[in-house]
Amino acid sequence: MSYSLSISDRLRAFEGVTYQIIVIKIKKKGGKFSQFSLEPFVSVINGTTTVKSFLTGLSGDEKEIVGCFTSDAFVSFSGLSQVIFGYGRAPMDSFDNVDIVAVKVPLDPMLASLNAPLGDTTWLNS
């Protein structure tokens, strides 16, 4: 099965407040992801550092696994990374040699003008 990867800055509301976060989507080409009792996951590995999404789920049409990451999740990353996804703790597949900084789509300028607070690690841990 083949998959496509997209990484972008997005606005998402949590507990009634809109924050800017990073969203990684893995789309299954020509099919849907199965619903399992195990939760889907998305992780990014860069050298010895692994960052796991703080919220992961399937899109409404079940064609995408969507992982939410804090706005500062990848600031210490350099070079190429590996994006791994699957269910529970079992990886289904991965994207290797991904330059997170180069491929991440910035927030649309109109949405950026809303000046939503960053959903960073400090926010997540509060």
Domain architecture of the chain: domains with CATH: 3-108 (2.60.40)
The per-residue pLDDT for 34 is 84
Contacts of 108 (CB under 8 A, 6+ apart): none
Which regions in the chain score pLDDT beneath 50? Answer: none
Dihedral of CA 55/3/45/98: which sign? negative
The per-residue pLDDT for 1 is 62
Q: For residue 11, which amino acid is it?
A: L
Q: What is the pTM of this model?
A: 0.94
